[in-house]
Amino acid sequence: MIQFPDLYCPCEPHLSPHFETIEKSTMEWAQQFNLLTSAAALERFKKGKFALLTARAFPVDNLEALLPIADLNTWLFLFDDQCDETLEGKTAAHLHATTCLLMDAMINGVSLGADSTPRPRTR
């Protein structure tokens, strides 16, 4: 068995008092945008405890500020999982098309619904 040395941390770990609210809200947000499409995906999501990272990294009392941070953090983890765990996510064409679609949404305010299909751009 590997013995790890004790680590010194000069600051107290804090957790946002809104952790449970963030967790519930982010799960609802992910379901609203069809990011959790199966019972297995929902279980993986719960085990991921994405809201815990936000609540620890931003241990503030401002719920309104924390919710969009938690949603973005969750989306980034789910997108990363899709890229790592699906065949589509491992193809350069799919990643390029998805990235272009997301950039359009962020820059131009294009609405992305559950039926959005990434398509390669033509030059």
pLDDT digits (tens, 9 = 90+) for 25-63: 999 988 888 888 788 888 988 898 889 999 999 998 899
In whole angstroms, give the CA distance from residue 50 to residue 22.
10
Q: Which amino acid is at 114?
A: A
pTM for the predicted model, two decimal places: 0.68
- The tens digit of pLDDT for each residue in 69-100 reads 999 898 888 888 777 777 776 788 888 887 78
What SS3 state is found at 25?
helix
